[in-house]
């Protein structure tokens, strides 16, 4: 599936998604492996210069770092259905608790109205079907926020404090 930035612009995707039964390619290939494969055989990525993982939304991100590997360059988080938002929590844990600085991409069933939340939680990219109808329109953005999040946006309360309490 094509990769897009959070403005809906296409991105080059050098990552090859490896099936669970496929043999490992040369170590120079940027490889995206499943959590099922990584959790049972973490040595599959040990020593690779570029690797990433597809993490189901049922896995605690702490479990990934508990494997003792170098952090992956990419973590793909899944939205299996529109109403399932556990990947938001995973992204915030990665950014705010674990200090992860690599690419976090959202995959799966995403609606256009989720983009502002995806930005706030720390996602960098969207992996979507090329025929996703809402990609032809500008993606929504909101200049003001009420709560702090992984994106570091200044909240309305902080703006008011900086202005001396004026609204």
Q: What is the pLDDT of residue 133?
A: 72
For residue 13, what pLDDT band results from cuts at 50, 70 and 90?
very high
Q: Residue 165 has what pLDDT?
A: 64
Euclidean distance between CA atoms 144 and 24, whole angstroms? 46
Give dist(CA 6, CA 72) in Å, integer: 21
Residue 149, pLDDT score: 87
pLDDT (0 to 100) of residue 115: 87
Residue that wins the pLDDT comparison between 77 and 162: 77
Residues 21-36 have a mean pLDDT of: 87
CATH numeric code, 3-162? 3.20.20
DSSP string, 62-117: HHHHTT-PPPPSEEEEEE-STT--HHHHHHHIIIIIS---SEEEEEES--GGGHHH
Question: pLDDT tens digit string along 98-115?
Answer: 999 999 999 988 888 888
In whole angstroms, how far apart are CA 148 and each of 92, 122, 145?
Answer: 11, 12, 8
Q: 34-64, pLDDT tens digit by residue?
A: 999 999 989 888 888 899 999 999 999 999 9
Mean pLDDT of 67-81: 93
Q: Residue ranges of the domains in the chain?
A: 3-162
Task: Please give the pLDDT value at position 166.
Answer: 59
């Amino acid at each position: 599936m094509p990769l897009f930035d959070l403005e809906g612009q296409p991105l080059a995707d050098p990552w090859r998604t490896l099936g669970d039964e496929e043999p490992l390619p040369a170590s120079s290939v940027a490889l995206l492996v499943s959590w099922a494969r990584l959790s049972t055989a973490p040595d599959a990525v040990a020593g690779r210069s570029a690797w990433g993982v597809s993490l189901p939304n049922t896995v605690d991100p702490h479990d990934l770092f508990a494997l003792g590997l170098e952090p992956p360059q990419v973590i793909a988080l899944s939205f299996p259905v529109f109403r399932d938002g556990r990947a938001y929590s995973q992204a915030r844990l990665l950014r705010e608790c674990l200090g992860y600085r690599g690419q976090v991409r959202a995959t799966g069933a995403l609606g256009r109205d989720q983009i502002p939340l995806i930005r706030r939680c720390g996602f960098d990219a969207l992996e979507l079907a090329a025929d996703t109808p809402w990609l032809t329109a500008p993606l929504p953005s909101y200049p003001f926020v009420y709560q702090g999040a992984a994106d570091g946006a200044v909240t309305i309360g902080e703006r008011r404090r900086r202005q001396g309490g004026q609204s």
